[in-house]
Structure 1
Amino acid sequence: MTSDATPPHSALTPAQQEARDLLIETVRIPSLSGEESAAAQFLTEWMTAHGFTAHVDEAGNAVGERGSGPYTVALLGHIDTVPGDIPVRVDESGVLHGRGSVDAKGPFCAFVAAVAALPPQTLAQARFVCIGATEEEAPSSKGARHAMHTLSPDAVLIGEPSGWAGLTLGYKGRLVAKLRVTKDNFHTAGEGTSAADDLTEAWFRIRAWAAGVGAYRPGIFDQVQATVQDLGASGDGLTQSAWASVGLRLPPSLPPYAAEDAVYDAVDELTTDITFTGHESAVRHPKDNALTRALRTAIRAQGGTPTFKVKTGTSDMNVVAELWPVPTLAYGPGDSSLDHTPEERLDLAEYDRAVLVLTDALTRLAQTAAATASASS
C-alpha cells in the first residue's frame, strides 16, 4: 500500500468523492460467489447514471460500455468475494476496511471510475467495456467464461490488486488432484499397509515430483508448488478409506494435462483413485506493447516507478487468454497479500491514484490506437 496520506475530505474533487462513494457502497453490498446480483444491480445503475450503456448479462455480470471508436478495450474485474464478514468502515487514516475492498472490488471500481472520467475525444477513438464478473473466486469462473465469448477486444485489463504502480504480466496455472484409497480392513499387528499409509505415500511421491520440476530455475514462478488442501481417513470395521485434495500451482512450461500424466506416473503402483479438477494453464504476457507503455507512462506521470510482476495464484487472466490473445495486464490498487485475510483493507489515497493512472493510460492508449489506424490508412 502507498504510504501517502489521504487527502482531507475538502481536498477531494467531486469526481474523486463519487469514485470513493462507488467503491465504499460496492464493498458494503455482500456478494459471495453465486450471490452477486445485488452488487451487479447497484453497479449497472451507477454506470447508467454516469454515461454508460449498462446491463446485467446472462451470467450475472455487471456490464457497462462507453465510447464509439473502432479500438475496443475490455476491463474485466470480478465482483464476487470469498466468505468472511469484515465490518465495512473507513478509519481515521482514510483506509477502507471490508471484504472485497482489495480482491477485487477496488480494482473494478477503479476501472469504472476511470472510464466514467474519460473525455469525449477519447470516447470517439475507442470503446471501453467494463465487466464486473461473477464467480471468479469459484472454480467455475462463470462471468469471465461468458464474457470471453461475447467480445473480441484489442486490449485487456484484468482487475486485480497489483499496487498502484505495479503491472502484473502473468499468473501460474492450477490443477487440483483428488486422491482416494479404499482397502479391506486388517489388524494393525499384521503385515500390510493401511489406506492412510498408501495415501500418505502417494502425497510424498507427488511432493517429490513437484520439487524436481524447475528446481534449477531461480524463481518460484517456474516451479511447481504442491500443497495438501484436504486430508482425512475413516473406517467402518470392514473397509477403510483415506482421501486428500492436493493443489498444484503450475509454471508456464507445464500444462495441466501434462501435470495429470506426471501425477499418475508418480503414484503408479499404489491403489489410488485420482480425479482432477480446476484445470488452468499458466499465462505470461509480453511487457512491451501499447498497453504496457500507456500504463508505464501514466504511472510515471503520477510520480511512481512502474514495476512488473508475475503472480503464483490464478485469475481470470488465465481463463480468457486463449480466446483473447491480445496485449493484457492485470492492474489495480491494493496489497494482494491481504486477499482473503481478516485484515483486507484498501488505502483510499491509493485508490484515487489508481483511478488517475487508469484515466491517463486509457486516454494515451486510445490516442495511440487512433494514430496507428490513421498512419496505416
Structure 2
Amino acid sequence: MTDVRAPVQDARDLLVRAVEIPSLSGQEGEVAAFLRDWMAARGFEARVDEAGNAVGERGHGPLTVALLGHMDTVPGEIPVHVDDAGVLHGRGSVDAKGPLCAFMAAVATLPDEALAAARFVVIGATEEEAPSSRGARHIRTQLQPDVVLIGEPSAWEGLTLGYKGRLVVKAQAVKENFHTAGDGSSAGDDLTEAWFRVRAWAAGAGEPGGVFGGVQATIQDLGAGTDGLHQRAWGTFGLRLPVSVAPAQAEAAIRAALTDLEGVNLTFVGHETAVRHPKDNALTRAFRVAIREQGGSPVFKVKTGTSDMNVVAAHWPVPTLAYGPGDSALDHTPEERLDLAEFDRAVAVLRGALTRLALGAAKAD
C-alpha cells in the first residue's frame, strides 16, 4: 500500500513555511525564492520572473493549464501556529497562500499520464492585494493557457465562477472660506451632496434583485479642513459593479450626475470589469466529479469582491474558475486561519480534477 502520509505532510510543511514568511504587497521576494526552490526540488522548471512572480511548470502535453494564485498579503501580524485542532493561524493562510500552496502540492504529485497530457503552470503572483495587480498583469501577456484556475478561498467544496467589478471615486470639494452664519453651502456640504448622488445612482443601477447583480456603494475615506482662506473636503467612494455595468459606464453616469456641483473635482481609479464564467464545461465537470470523490457536494458561487480573475479574463477567454481551501469571510481579519484537514481535501480534489481534465483532453484528441 502506498504511504500517502509523506506527501500530505510535505504539503502541510510547505503551507506553514509559506505563511511564516512575511510578504506584504511589494515585499514578496523572500517567499518567492522559497516557493521557487520548493518547486525546483520537486521536478518543476521553476523561476522568479521579471514581475517577481514565482513560476513553476510541470508536464509537456498539448493542453496548458494556468494555476494563478498570489503570495502577497494585506498588513496585520498574526502569530503563526498550528493549534491542537490542526488549524493553522496566520496572515495569508486563507488569502491566499492556502490556495496557492494547494496548487503547488497537487501539481507536484500528479501522475505521469497527466503530465504527458498537459502542461501545468503554477504562478504565485505579486501585488494582488494592491491596485497594481503587477504579477497578474505581467503573466497575462506571457502565457496563453487553455484552462485557468484562480487561487482564492472558496471552501474545498466550492467553485467560484465570477467576481464583481470595481471603480473607486476620489472626490474633492474646494471653496473660498466664509463665515458659517452666511448664506451658501460649505465644501463639506458639496461633498456630502456628491455622495448622496453617487449613492442614489448606485441604488437604481444594475439588475434588480440579488447582490451580485446590483451596484454596491460605500464610503472608504472622508475628511474636511480649512487653511483659513479655503475650505476643503474630500472623500473616497468605492463601487462594486455587476457584469451589466462596465467601469466606463459607471464613470460617465457619475460625472453626469455631479456635473452641476461646481468646485467638486473627481478622479476615478481601480477600473476592474466584472466577470462571470459558464458553469458547465470540461473544467467544472472535472471538479464536480473530484469533489464528489472526496465525499463533498459541489457548490457554485459568485463573489462581490474582486480577484486576479478580473485582471486576466479579457486576455484569457477560456474556461476559468477560482478554487481553494478556506473561508473567505476570514480574509483580511485578525482571525485568519485554515483547517489543515480542509487543505488536505483541497489538494486531493485538485489532484483528481487536474488528472481527469488532462486525460479527458488527451482522449478528446
The answer to whether the superposition gives a TM-score over 0.5 is yes
Matching residue of 2:236: 245
- 1:147-174 superposed Cα distances (whole Å, 9 cap, x missing partner): 0000000000000000000000000000
Is 2:229 the partner of 1:260? no
Is 2:210 the partner of 1:219? yes
Task: Give, in angstroms, the shift of residue 311 of structure 1.
Answer: 0.3
Pick the aligned partner of 2:300 from 308, 313, 330.
Answer: 308
Task: Give, in angstroms, the shift of residue 38 of structure 1.
Answer: 0.2
Pick the aligned partner of 2:342 from 350, 356, 372.
Answer: 350
- 1:301-330 superposed Cα distances (whole Å, 9 cap, x missing partner): 001000000000000000000010000000
| 2:335 aligned counterpart, secondary structure | coil
Matching residue of 2:107: 115
Matching residue of 2:142: 150
In the alignment, the residues of structure 2 paired with residue 241 and residue 320 of structure 1 have an alpha-carbon distance, to the nearest angstrom, of 38
Matching residue of 1:269: 260
| 2:110 aligned counterpart, secondary structure | coil
Task: Give, in angstroms, the shift of residue 265 of structure 1.
Answer: 1.5
In the alignment, the residues of structure 2 paired with residue 266 and residue 226 of structure 1 have an alpha-carbon distance, to the nearest angstrom, of 15
Is 2:198 the partner of 1:198? no
Pick the aligned partner of 2:324 from 312, 319, 332.
Answer: 332
Task: Give, in angstroms, the shift of residue 267 of structure 1.
Answer: 1.2
- 1:327-352 superposed Cα distances (whole Å, 9 cap, x missing partner): 00000000000000000000000000
Matching residue of 1:4: none
TM-score by length of 2: 0.98
Task: Give, in angstroms, the shift of residue 217 of structure 1.
Answer: 2.1
In the alignment, the residues of structure 2 paired with residue 148 and residue 300 of structure 1 have an alpha-carbon distance, to the nearest angstrom, of 32
Is 2:239 the partner of 1:234? no
Matching residue of 1:5: none
Matching residue of 2:52: 60
- 1:43-84 superposed Cα distances (whole Å, 9 cap, x missing partner): 000000011000000000000000000000000000000000
TM-score by length of 1: 0.95
In the alignment, the residues of structure 2 paired with residue 94 and residue 138 of structure 1 have an alpha-carbon distance, to the nearest angstrom, of 31
| 2:253 aligned counterpart, secondary structure | helix
In the alignment, the residues of structure 1 paired with residue 146 and residue 4 of structure 2 have an alpha-carbon distance, to the nearest angstrom, of 34
Q: Which runs of 5+ in 2 are unaligned?
A: none
In the alignment, the residues of structure 1 paired with residue 285 and residue 294 of structure 2 have an alpha-carbon distance, to the nearest angstrom, of 14
Matching residue of 1:96: 88
Pick the aligned partner of 1:367 from 339, 359, 364.
Answer: 359
Question: AA paired with 1:77?
Answer: G
Question: AA paired with 1:347?
Answer: D
Q: Which runs of 5+ in 1 are unaligned?
A: 1-10
Matching residue of 2:162: 170
In the alignment, the residues of structure 1 paired with residue 222 and residue 209 of structure 2 have an alpha-carbon distance, to the nearest angstrom, of 31
| 2:311 aligned counterpart, secondary structure | helix
- Identity rate of aligned residues, in percent? 71
Matching residue of 1:161: 153
Question: AA paired with 1:54?
Answer: A
In the alignment, the residues of structure 2 paired with residue 316 and residue 363 of structure 1 have an alpha-carbon distance, to the nearest angstrom, of 24
Question: AA paired with 1:321?
Answer: A
| 1:261 aligned counterpart, secondary structure | helix
Question: AA paired with 1:309?
Answer: K
Pick the aligned partner of 2:13 from 21, 27, 41.
Answer: 21
How many residue pairs get aligned? The number is 362
- Between 205-214 and 193-202, the greater mean CA deviation after superposition: 205-214
